[in-house]
A and B are shown apart, each in its own frame.
Chain A
Amino acid sequence: MSQPGAPTNRSDDALVQVRGLRTVLGGKTIFDGVDLDIPRGKVTAIMGPSGTGKTTLLRHVTGQLMPDAGSIRVDGADVPTLSRSALFDLREKIGFLFQNSALLTDFDVFENVAFPLRQHLKLPEEIVRNIVLTKLQAVGLRGAAQLMPDELSGGMARRVALARAIIRDPMLILYDEPFVGLDPIALNQVLRLIRTLNETLGITSVLVAHEFAAVARVADLVYLIAGGKVVAKGSPDELRDDPSPWTRQFFGGEADGPVPFQYPARDYAADLGFAGGTA
């Protein structure tokens, strides 16, 4: 397994390059010198404890949030320096699956998936219909095309959002917690879809997820982020066998280790009002 911080790929193989990323939000340091490469045409997973900044990293990659320091290059473009129109041009090539699906509540499932097509391309209605139904078929929801978002379960909404994210066959897809709320059948299909998109169209995928078993089935490369830094990286097999305390604790689900389970607090006994506790 390679050491954290050391590049695993040549820079021209990386679709996304992050160097010296430093982010402070609300006085809390989220990233403190993060370097990572997302290789082209591969599935890369970003993992780490809750609140470690995985979603924030995706927001940096898409220019929704600007870093305090460091560079983020996507397909050669330095994201923090892009103008709004250049950023929008870049985003047309990126699909993003939101944690909470973020479906447009005024539109039914069909129109939600068709939205990016209608906004950017003047396609005949028949072609729009065929593309949308093809994507909905891929996520198993062609029959739900006429349902409104409030008629969908959480898992169904996520699959609709996934269909919307891939509707334009982007060069890069960012999945923020794609496996949450999926039943085993849907999970299996989504995993297969991610892999198929990657293998058939060469789409680069970035997953933010906690489910190592699912991640191990699709990811080529895994980054483990904790304490504002990349603490481990490698293939799922390499990380599974990695003896470092970070990976042992995270993948073993242990409360004790370098990642504190408890949010910083004063002495427990003192908080409960027992004598002898130190304030």
Chain B
Amino acid sequence: MSAQTKSGAFSGIADALAQVGACGLFLLQILAAIPASFRHFRETVRQVWFTGAMSLVIIMTCGLFVGMVLGLQLYYVLSIFGGTAALGTVVSLSLYRELGPVVTALLFAGRAGTSITAEIGLMRATDQLSAMEMMAVDPLAYVAAPRFVAGVIAMPLLACVFNALGIFGAHLVGVSWLGLDNGTFWSNMTSSVDVWKDVVNGVWKSVAFGAVVSLIAVFQGYTTAPTSEGVAYATTRTVVFSSIVVLALDFVMTAFLM
């Protein structure tokens, strides 16, 4: 490796670490601004609507199809071992523990995260954030904190909807189409799924993913270069970084929550 390549690699690592550090400091600023953001409660509600309710269609559609695919694949695999009765259990555990929070977070990053980054980035580019500062309105409390809080609130709710539609999709395929007994599907599921170990742990994961995706989206928008190219790069970075961090954090949380 040439000296120039080494220097470039070190510089890249240093930049990445600096970004992580800046993002951490930004999180502290947002947390400090949350009490002041309660003054803008309507803005937080508006953001919950924008990031949550407006993401429902994509979450419901994807949840349904993920559940249908799971139902189809698992029915085929389980039928090899004569264990199709466990379909409801396997599908629900897969959704509650992993797929629900993770896929919802990835979809949330693509749908809500990108729009948050683009919106804040354009506010930066058009001096709207500076205008707020000049009107003695803290953009951290008025813009950043409500979007961060809204993401933390909306993500677990969306994950629950995703799980519900996923189970419905698996039921549609397993019971309505492939002829599995309806009672077997539900009774095995309810007897095997633990509310605290499976459902609540999944909710915790989705809360953490909501916080991470919202933080990355708001940070990228807030610190973007005030140009159209800068906003485009920031939006891309939101999806890329969110996806990587969600999957890595999923592993860490799974290891601790098991």
Contact = CB atoms under 8 A, between A and B. Distances in A.
Interface in B115-167: 122-123, 126-128, 130-138, 142
Contacts of A64: 130, 133-134
Nearest to B122: A105
Contact of B131 (A88, A92, A94, A104): A104
A194 to B, nearest CB: 18
12 contacts: A91-B133, A91-B135, A96-B131, A98-B127, A99-B127, A102-B127, A102-B131, A104-B131, A104-B132, A115-B135, A116-B135, A119-B137
Contacts of B142: 119
B126 A100 contact: yes
A95 B123 CA distance: 19
Contact of B136 (A100, A104, A120): A120
Given A98-B131, A102-B131, A104-B131, A92 B126 contact: no
Nearest to A168: B135
A162 B90 CA distance: 63
Interface residues of B, number: 15
A278 B79 CA distance: 84
B127 A89 contact: no
A104 B131 CA distance: 9
Given A100-B126, A102-B127, A104-B128, A62 B134 contact: yes
A100 to B, nearest CB: 6
A104 B123 CA distance: 8
A89 B126 CA distance: 24
Contacts of B132: 104
Interface of A: 62, 64, 88-89, 91-92, 94, 96, 98-100, 102-105, 115-116, 119-120, 164
A102 B136 contact: no
A14 B43 CA distance: 40
A98 B137 contact: no
A64 B126 CA distance: 16
A94 B128 contact: no
A65 B231 CA distance: 23
B25 to A, nearest CB: 15
Contacts of B136: 88-89, 91-92, 116, 119-120
B128 A96 contact: no
A51 to B, nearest CB: 17
B128 A91 contact: no
A183 B114 CA distance: 39
A80 B63 CA distance: 53
A183 to B, nearest CB: 23
A89 B136 CA distance: 7
A164 B135 CA distance: 9
B126 A119 contact: no
A150 B99 CA distance: 41
B138 A102 contact: no
B117 to A, nearest CB: 16
Contacts of A103: 128, 131
B131 A119 contact: no
Nearest to B40: A119
